[in-house]
Structure 1
Amino acid sequence: MRQAIAESADASSKTIGFTVWRARQILAERAGEEAMDVPTQRKLYRLFAKLAVGSHTTGSARTRRSVALRPPGPFGEAPAGAPGEVMQIDSTPLDVLVRLDDGIAEKVELTALVDIATRSITAAVLRPTTKAADASVLLARSVTPETMRPGWPEALRMSRSVLPHRRLLTLDERLEHAAARPVIVPETIVCDHGKAFISHNFRASCRYLGINLQPAHKATPTDKGTIEKTLASVATLFAQFAAGYTGRSADRRGQHLQDGPLWSLPELQELLDEWVIAVWQVRPHDALRDPDSPGRAFTPNEKYAALLSSCGYVPLPLSGEDYIELLPERWQAINSYGIRIKHRTYDGRELNPLRRQHSGVTEKKGLWEIHHDPYDVTRVWVRDRRAGRWITVYWKHLHRVGVPFGEMAWDRAVQQVPDGTEAQIADAAAALLQRAHAGPSQNAEAAGKRSRRDRRIAARTRAAPTSSQIPDPPTIEETGSEPADDTLAPVIPLGLFDPLEDPWRRP
């Protein structure tokens, strides 16, 4: 019977009768042809009731798998005595529908970073789909103060909170207009084996910031139980109060949610950021109890203020080049036509000294390090190790598309024009975004030509704006380069308007 119960851990949920039947089969296989006295059906059911306690054999398959993956020993946790010593990161679908462009209602993913010592949510972002670049953005937001935004009450300022604002302001001038959210630099981050967290980009971002990345055991959520519980608390304390809440499962979901009032993705992100500061950071946490006063539960801000006096604070300012460092990288050659990425050509005058040249990185066979933003295909950055700078290179057909867009829209345009040229694919992407911007068509025939996938891709693309932290390309004075064109077009001035002149007279 124990073997039959253990076999059902990864299988679909079945009834008690199947488990009893499987126990009889196992007994027959062991006994062979020997006759054995099998207990009655009633006794086997009573035996199952005793052995299956807490295993959810006939209940939820998801709960049963979670129980089976728990370690057999007592639970433990890595001690953390300072902010940032141990942090955990994870992502999960947020149980809230948002209204994307073109009227598409869809769920988004929440990615958050929580500190173990203070239980502070240092960063939380919402995206249609979590990418490695989004995980790197969490690192940048964790080490950067949260600036007060228009419409937020003055009570959310750091100067009005229990955080030692005056002492911190002497060390970091960025905290003058900061909100009451701790600024924590991670030392160790525990993550699962999701693609966004074990990607080369996220590992490179952690190495650049001096962070030790510690992947958890596979299929072992108990290795990062704090972030798992935190994300569940966000659903309980925040998501259910938002319009469009769907519940955690299909049997808890209401009807016609997509037809009701829904928040847009930027608006929901704004509400989440305000909720973290106004509710989570000032809410007493049961895990933040001091041994000297076990009857009192401290808030994350209070715990951070108490630990800061013993561990100190070291600001980590990030410049525009630091944000470029956190973007995904790839290694390619710089040819005579420039750089080609997914049928897109990037070229510029500043690449002339680098064309068909060795980058000096022998480990990469002389290829050049290129960083790109998956939410903005209009430009890439090339690292020039000889000059110690980044070169901004623009897309060759940038003039064909008037708004920035990501790789998701580009991949969809490639599917629509599989054998097309780069210019044709650019026109297809521009048409896709233009149709999304125009909104639902009143003409049924025109609306029928637009597939739901096209509307979904366009809406998700426009819902993930590019980062405003990435700097503009350097000016000519900074780089010493010249304009791309050697010759200028002749300037033809317009004549003065004479109201007394005969307009029909030919010159």
Structure 2
Amino acid sequence: MSRLARPARLMVGERVRFDGQVRIVLALSGHVVMLSELGGQPRAVPPALLFADDDFEIVGSAGRVSLPAVSLLETLPQPVLEKALWWESHILEVLHGLPPDAPGDTGPRPEYAPTRSLTSREKAKAAELTAAGHRVSASTVANYRRRYESGGVLGLADHRPIRKRPQYGEVDDRVVAAMRQAIAEAVDASTRTGSFLLWRTGELLREQGEPVELPSQRTLYRLLAKLTAGTHTTGSAVTRRSRAHGAQAPFGELPAFAPGEVMQIDSTPLDVLVRLDDGVAGKVELTGMIDVATRTVTAAVLRPATKSVDASVLLARTLTPELMRPGWVEALRMARSVLPHRRLLSLDERLEHAAARPVIVPEMIVCDHGKVFISRNFIASCRFLEIDVQPAHKGSPFEKGHIEKMLSSVGTLFAQFVSGYTGRNSDRRGRHLDSQPLWSLLELQELVDEWLVAKWQNRRHDGLRDPVHPGRSFTPNEKYAALVEACGYVPVALTGTDYIELLPAIWRAVNDYGIKISRRTYDGPGLIRRQDSGVRAKKGLWEVHHDPYDVSRIWVRNHHGDGEWIEARWKHLHRVPVPFGELAWDHVSQSLPRATEVEIADAVAALLAKAGAGPEQPAKPGTRRTARDRRIAARTRATTTSAPSVPQPVASAEADAESGQGPAEIADEPLAKVIPLGLFDPLENPWRRS
């Protein structure tokens, strides 16, 4: 990039070409230029005649002189700056006849008149300064004059305080090269301390066979600090690899002007302990998808370990409306939000009972190289929906920084309020976390969904600002509504059949009692029982699609018909409150006013309070179980689960009805007192009474 420069100007002492000869400018004024003449008196030429001559040029001039770096004056010590400004006032009087602080009606002194030569003016200034107590010569004044003409005030200053020093001091270049190699070897290795890097530097120098004298240890540590600045060589291994293997070109960003144009997907462990299906406390992974244009989190799911089918289910949830759940406040309805509910309702009737989360159809999905997102299952689902999958460069998480930031924000805005929060690493982890009331996986999933609708979609985002008024920020829902008006985006949600096709498939037999999946029995009136499906590759089993996050129902493909889906519901759905059960809705349309910020804020506060308190733990009547009793019961369940399955007697429903006790009531009975048996001691006197 070229520096800003000022145009050349005619000055006293310049050599110019005029009338076929090279002449010297002896004096300057507004009306005449005095030029030297070979073998005669100086020649007075009007400036207009001089500049109009065809042969006129300034001989030996650079043409344009670069402007000095005036900002460097701030780096100078105050005495050095004051001396430079003192010299500037005297040099300006030599050049122009007047000092910079002279009144407007003051004329130049005779010794500095423009008609006098530059050399005579420099001699006059030297005599004046010497008489004032500053012993200088005419050559010194001429030197400062040339320095001012080339560098301005900065040229008059002493450059020693701002003089550039060698980057690595007096350290041998071979030592620098060896330390660079040691740092490069540590990129993909485990993190070590600086002492190891210094030892490795010495080893590399010895391997080269050249005798090199190492500087002091303090000097080596200073050199190591300079070479490892910003590389995290002795810090986080993940960050170090990301910095080393990331893109070297300037950062770019895919422009996104419409919802769904660019979306990002990723997974991360959630820093919350949950109660898994087997009753053991464990951690789960959070997989989410975010829209870059609106910052809308279209879906987020929890699983003990993310699989390829989970990514496909996440895609299916992105393309379908989020229905209101039992217990959610009315302020979370789409009808009471800023979203264009009435316009979208004509396209999809399911939005009548939808929550305030927009449905966005992706055009491009940016992901990393995880096996989940480059799997055949996920790629096939995206190809079916005509979605472009764009993997980011390896070791370049900044290319999908929006989803990375969103997953990090979940930890600070939501996870830390949930009972069982573990902290992001072992240094921040508390004690006895498994003794706290923990949410089950399905219950925590419902809390996440409600928080996204209540908090995230109504939270002002710093990246969503009005270009005309940058001081105003938008929420994801407000940005979605604005972009719909601006670009005319119309979402087309998945149909019910398409949604079922994206769900993971398993193969099961249809018995008289229905279909059993994960110890849950599903049944429906349309099932074809105890018959071969006709699919020989699966030994006559039936194709069953299920939502891992909705245990209320499954779908069975009718292989005897046209491939339509037969719905089967969980038989005990009416007995257990299932977070994702498809319950009956009130289809009476209600004219509700738009939700206020106070109502939404109250809903978020209630949600976080509920999440922090943990699930309710009702005490069983007449029972007080100690910690030892709970440990014994847990071990018994673990032993029963891991032991080989054996036939167990099953109590009939009639017997339960006669006794008046169901399975749950029997489990609630007080535990009987356990009398342990003594150990046989052959040396003990059997006739002695204890």
Aligned to 2:492: 315
User: 2:501 aligned with 1:325, yes or no?
Assistant: yes
Q: 2:301 & 2:185 partners in 1: Cα distance?
A: 39
Aligned-residue offset at 1:356: 6.0
Q: 2:268 & 2:639 partners in 1: Cα distance?
A: 24
* Cα offsets for 1:13-72 (capped at 9, x unmatched): 222121111112222223x2x422322222111111211111222223233223323322
Greater alpha carbon shift after TM alignment, 217-226 vs 299-308: 217-226
Contact 1:133 1:373 in 2 (8 A): no
Equivalent residue for 1:19, pick from 186, 197, 200:
197
Q: 1:79 & 1:383 partners in 2: Cα distance?
A: 45
Equivalent residue for 2:446, pick from 270, 274, 283:
270
Contact 2:182 2:197 in 1 (8 A): yes
Equivalent residue for 2:457, pick from 281, 290, 297:
281
Aligned-residue offset at 1:85: 0.9
User: 2:430 aligned with 1:244, yes or no?
Assistant: no
Contact 2:261 2:293 in 1 (8 A): yes
Contact 1:329 1:369 in 2 (8 A): no
User: Rg: which structure is higher?
Assistant: 2
Q: 1:370 & 1:49 partners in 2: Cα distance?
A: 62
Aligned-residue offset at 1:441: 12
Aligned to 1:179: 355
Code of the residue aligned with 1:225 in structure 2: it is G
Contact 1:90 1:192 in 2 (8 A): yes
Q: Using a 3 Å threshold, how does the CA distance of structure 1 residues 330 and 145 change in structure 2: closer, same or farther?
A: closer
Q: Using a 3 Å threshold, how does the CA distance of structure 1 residues 101 and 329 change in structure 2: closer, same or farther?
A: closer
Aligned-residue offset at 1:5: 1.3
Greater alpha carbon shift after TM alignment, 17-26 vs 117-126: 17-26
Greater alpha carbon shift after TM alignment, 197-206 vs 229-238: 197-206
Gapped runs of 5+ residues in structure 1?
332-346, 360-366, 395-439, 459-507
Aligned to 1:8: 186
SS at match of 1:97: strand
1:101-500 mapped onto 2 (5 Å cutoff): 101=277, 103-309=279-485, 310-319=487-496, 321-328=497-504, 351=532, 354=534, 388-390=562-564, 448=635, 451=638, 454=641
* Cα offsets for 1:336-359 (capped at 9, x unmatched): xxxxxxxxxxx977757x4669x9
* Cα offsets for 1:111-160 (capped at 9, x unmatched): 11100110100111112222222211111211111112222112111122
Code of the residue aligned with 2:457 in structure 1: it is Q
Q: 2:529 & 2:234 partners in 1: Cα distance?
A: 64
Code of the residue aligned with 2:203 in structure 1: it is Q
Greater alpha carbon shift after TM alignment, 249-258 vs 97-106: 97-106
Code of the residue aligned with 1:5 in structure 2: it is I
Q: Using a 3 Å threshold, how does the CA distance of structure 1 residues 272 and 291 change in structure 2: closer, same or farther?
A: same
Gapped runs of 5+ residues in structure 2?
1-178, 508-527, 569-626, 646-690
* Cα offsets for 1:424-455 (capped at 9, x unmatched): xxxxxxxxxxxxxxxx9969888656547947
Q: Using a 3 Å threshold, how does the CA distance of structure 1 residues 350 and 216 change in structure 2: closer, same or farther?
A: farther
Q: 2:532 & 2:639 partners in 1: Cα distance?
A: 41
Aligned to 1:44: 220
User: 2:202 aligned with 1:28, yes or no?
Assistant: no
1:63-102 mapped onto 2 (5 Å cutoff): 63-101=239-277
Code of the residue aligned with 2:333 in structure 1: it is R
Contact 1:201 1:329 in 2 (8 A): no
Aligned to 2:602: none
Percent of matched pairs sharing the same residue: 61
Q: 2:467 & 2:631 partners in 1: Cα distance?
A: 68
SS at match of 2:470: strand
Code of the residue aligned with 1:21 in structure 2: it is W
Q: 2:420 & 2:240 partners in 1: Cα distance?
A: 29
Aligned-residue offset at 1:216: 2.2
Aligned-residue offset at 1:265: 1.7
If the length of structure 2 is used for normalisation, what is the TM-score?
0.51
Aligned-residue offset at 1:103: 3.6
Q: Using a 3 Å threshold, how does the CA distance of structure 1 residues 198 and 330 change in structure 2: closer, same or farther?
A: farther
Q: 2:629 & 2:230 partners in 1: Cα distance?
A: 57
Code of the residue aligned with 1:26 in structure 2: it is L
Aligned-residue offset at 1:202: 1.4
Q: Using a 3 Å threshold, how does the CA distance of structure 1 residues 276 and 350 change in structure 2: closer, same or farther?
A: same
Q: Using a 3 Å threshold, how does the CA distance of structure 1 residues 455 and 259 change in structure 2: closer, same or farther?
A: farther
Q: 1:130 & 1:93 partners in 2: Cα distance?
A: 10
Q: 2:331 & 2:283 partners in 1: Cα distance?
A: 31
Q: 1:194 & 1:453 partners in 2: Cα distance?
A: 36
Code of the residue aligned with 1:295 in structure 2: it is G
SS at match of 2:463: coil
SS at match of 2:288: strand
Q: 1:188 & 1:254 partners in 2: Cα distance?
A: 41
Q: 1:295 & 1:152 partners in 2: Cα distance?
A: 33
SS at match of 1:184: coil
Code of the residue aligned with 1:93 in structure 2: it is P
SS at match of 1:389: coil
Code of the residue aligned with 1:23 in structure 2: it is T
Q: 1:45 & 1:79 partners in 2: Cα distance?
A: 44
* Cα offsets for 1:254-279 (capped at 9, x unmatched): 00011012222222112111111111
SS at match of 1:176: helix
Contact 2:362 2:387 in 1 (8 A): yes
Q: Using a 3 Å threshold, how does the CA distance of structure 1 residues 371 and 208 change in structure 2: closer, same or farther?
A: farther
Aligned-residue offset at 1:391: 7.5
Q: Using a 3 Å threshold, how does the CA distance of structure 1 residues 326 and 102 change in structure 2: closer, same or farther?
A: closer
SS at match of 2:471: strand
Contact 1:350 1:391 in 2 (8 A): no
Q: Using a 3 Å threshold, how does the CA distance of structure 1 residues 442 and 28 change in structure 2: closer, same or farther?
A: closer
Q: Using a 3 Å threshold, how does the CA distance of structure 1 residues 445 and 235 change in structure 2: closer, same or farther?
A: closer
What is the root-mean-square deviation of aligned Cα atoms in Å? 3.7
Q: Using a 3 Å threshold, how does the CA distance of structure 1 residues 216 and 455 change in structure 2: closer, same or farther?
A: farther
Contact 1:123 1:141 in 2 (8 A): yes
Aligned-residue offset at 1:170: 2.4
If the length of structure 1 is used for normalisation, what is the TM-score?
0.68
Q: 1:455 & 1:256 partners in 2: Cα distance?
A: 25
Code of the residue aligned with 2:490 in structure 1: it is Y
Aligned-residue offset at 1:188: 1.2
SS at match of 1:286: strand
Q: Using a 3 Å threshold, how does the CA distance of structure 1 residues 233 and 379 change in structure 2: closer, same or farther?
A: closer
